[in-house]
Structure 1
Amino acid sequence: MAKYDKTDIDRRMDGAVEALKSDLSGLRTGRANTSLLDPVHVEVYGAMMPLNQVATVSAPEPRMLSVQVWDKANVNAVEKGIAKANLGLNPMQDGQTIRLPMPDLTEERRKDLAKLAGEYGEKAKIAIRNVRRDGMEALKEDEKKKEISEDDRKRSEDEVQKLTDKHVAEIDDVVAKKVQEIMTQ
């Protein structure tokens, strides 16, 4: 049975691109994004819990996040959790709601975020190249076992390279859009 599977390679490369998009969504631009609070954990009921399990996070305005705490007793704990997360946000309590205005980004911070976006892109490209390497090794193994011919191996290697090029170009595009967003907002 042949080990090479083009659809599996494509699926794994797509996964690397999706992971990159997820990582980039957490990078803060000047605009409010609810995923910014995903890493926040809050100490409630004697345990650490993700913020989204004790409150609803929304973005009612482009430069404001709103955290609606479900249990009034947890409002202070949620405020502390947000402050501890070191996101550069200044929580303001308003009853059971905590408002988080988005501060303006300095030019230096924008450059740091753009550089970080590039690093995320590079990690995703490394993941893509690792998938390509696995595919190429599987093809060589299949040829060695006489399950495919040399011509089939070369043809399939070209397919793997085309998939790699397509996904790397997609990563470059995603990173370029994020950098543009960071530098202009």
Structure 2
Amino acid sequence: MTEPKTILDPAQAKMDKAIEFLVEALASVRAGKASTNLLNGITVDYYGNPTPVSQVASVTVPDARTVLIQPWEKNLIGAIEKAILVANIGLTPSNNGEHIRLNIPPLTEERRKELVKQIKSEAETARISIRNIRRDAVEAFKKAQKEGMPEDMAKDGEDSSQKLTDKYMKKVDELFAAKEAEIMTV
């Protein structure tokens, strides 16, 4: 006989993954503040291998509006600068021969609203995947009931998967609200 735990544990693990994915997606949205996350996903050709900028340079945030990139090898400055321009993150790098500076311009009201729409869609994607995970768990309980799980145990399992879903939906809402407040704060 199937235990409810064997259905709920994988569902919870998948919901955790959905939340992790949302956190990463929200971190990559630029809220007018400098962050080392801006360079996530940008790679540089390092001796023939595409390598993340953070692995070939020191990336720091000296103040709220600046990201400073100091390559470990001076010959990489041009390659890093080109990679940032090609990545089209909306920033123009400036270099002084030793390091590259990215100045983050303040966001306009219109841009803030666009960013809120973008994070709203990310949050909705997370909600949809959490609801899909709940649906799969409920279907698993119904199948287990047909295979001999007592009806009350199956119903309790369905209730538990709903409670789990509610808990994760609340997390999504909290993450969204926090990021929205960060973006709309001038």
Contact 1:66 1:100 in 2 (8 A): yes
Residue 60 in 1 paired to residue 62 in 2?
Answer: yes
Aligned partner of 2:142 in structure 1 is 140
Report matched runs for 1:24-103 at 5 Å: 24-103=26-105
Q: How does 1:123-162 map to 2 (within 5 A)?
A: 123-146=125-148, 148-162=149-163
The superposition leaves residues 25-61 of structure 1 with CA deviations (integer Å, 9 ceiling, x where unpaired) of 0000111110111121223323432212221211111
Once superposed, which parts of structure 1, at least 4 consecutive aligned residues long, lie more than 4 Å away? none
TM-score normalised by structure 2 residue count:
0.93
1:23 to 22, 25, 47: 25
Tell me the C-alpha RMSD between the 2 structures. Answer: 1.4
SS of alignment partner, residue 17 of structure 1: helix
Q: Can you give the 5+ residue segments of structure 2 that lack an aligned partner in the other structure?
A: none
Question: By how many angstroms is 1:90 displaced?
Answer: 1.8
Q: What is the TM-score when the length of structure 1 is the normalising length?
A: 0.94
Q: Take 2:142 and 2:98, find their aligned partners in 1: how far apart are those partners?
A: 62
Aligned to 1:182: 183
Percent identity between matched residues is 43
The SS at the match of 1:59 is strand
Q: Is the 8 A contact 2:7 2:141 kept in 1?
A: no
Corresponding residue number in structure 2 for 1:14: 16
Task: Determine the C-alpha separation between the residues in 1 that align with 2:33 and 2:132.
Answer: 34
Q: Secondary structure at the match of 1:39?
A: coil
Offset, 1:132 = 0.5
Q: What 5-or-longer segments of structure 1 have no aligned partner?
A: none
Moved more, 124-133 or 7-16: 7-16
Give me the whole-angstrom Cα distance separating, in 1, the residues matched to 2:48 and 2:17. Answer: 36
Residue 91 of structure 2 aligns to a residue whose secondary structure is coil
User: Which stretch has the larger CA shift, 112-121 or 33-42?
Assistant: 33-42
SS of aligned partner of 2:90: coil
